[in-house]
């Protein structure tokens, strides 16, 4: 039974060694844990306000190419001619979307027959009348829609995006 006693002793040492590692880990995490009452890190993204176009430049179902929040983020403004949720302007029918597919980044094309943005990569489809909702495809999110504001002169401003832009960890990086 000497061999068996030796095995028990080795097992006991390993167990106690493991306790030591666990205690050290707990102490380290306690040392780095935020203090009670400390302000949490901000989670919101600060978006720039960018002038994109004027209402006079838009014609129903003819997308106008724009970029937001920077020149590396292509998108479109579309006057749908029908009031939609999230639509801007006096008729509530102006929407703006990224034109980079949220699946793998292919450029999207507008199809006026059903008011969708369509991807040539893997045939993803996004509904422009329903906030960029994915109708079909492989993306794990809907299409990023701009938060738009139209001022008294008809100037259209983008002031945010409601989904993550493809290829970015943060929409304004």
Q: Tell me the closest approach of the beta carbon of residue 101 to ligand FES, in angstroms.
A: 3
3-state secondary structure the chain: CHHHHHHHHHHHHHHHHHHHHHHHHHHHHHHHCCCCCCCCCCCCCCCCCEEEEEHHHCEECECEEEECCCCCCEEEEEECCCCCCCCECCCCCEEEEECECCCCCCECEEECCCCEEECCCCCCEEECCCCCEEEECCCCCCCCEEEEEECCCCEEEEEEECCCCCCCCCCCC
Assess 124 for contact with ligand FES (CB under 6 A).
yes
CB of 115 to ligand FES, least distance (A): 18
Q: Does 117 bind ligand FES (CB under 6 A)?
A: no
How many residues make contact with ligand FES (CB under 6 A)?
Answer: 10
- Using rule CB under 6 A, residue 47 touches ligand FES: no
Report the nearest approach of ligand FES to the CB of residue 160 (Å): 23
State yes or no: residue 121 binds ligand FES (CB under 6 A).
yes
Annotated catalytic, 50?
no
Q: Which is nearer to ligand FES, 138 or 149 (CB)?
A: 138
Residues contributing to the site for ligand FES (CB under 6 A): 101, 103-104, 106, 119, 121-122, 124, 137-138
- Active site (catalytic) residues: 103, 122
């Amino acid at each position: 039974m000497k061999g068996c006693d030796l095995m028990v002793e080795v097992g006991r040492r390993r167990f106690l060694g493991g306790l030591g590692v666990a205690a050290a880990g707990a102490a380290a995490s306690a040392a780095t844990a935020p203090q009670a009452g400390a302000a949490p890190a901000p989670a919101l993204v600060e978006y720039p306000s960018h002038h994109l176009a004027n209402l006079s430049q838009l014609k129903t179902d003819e997308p106008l190419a724009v970029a937001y929040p920077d020149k590396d983020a292509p998108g479109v403004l579309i006057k749908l001619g029908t009031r939609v949720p999230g639509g801007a302007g006096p008729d509530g029918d102006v929407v703006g979307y990224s034109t980079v597919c949220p699946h793998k980044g292919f450029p999207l094309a507008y199809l006026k027959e059903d008011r969708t943005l369509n991807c040539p990569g893997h045939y993803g489809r996004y509904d422009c009348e329903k906030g960029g909702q994915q109708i079909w495809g492989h993306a794990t999110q809907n299409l990023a829609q701009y938060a738009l504001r139209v001022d008294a002169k008809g100037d259209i401003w983008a002031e945010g995006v409601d989904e993550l832009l493809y290829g970015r960890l943060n929409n304004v990086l």
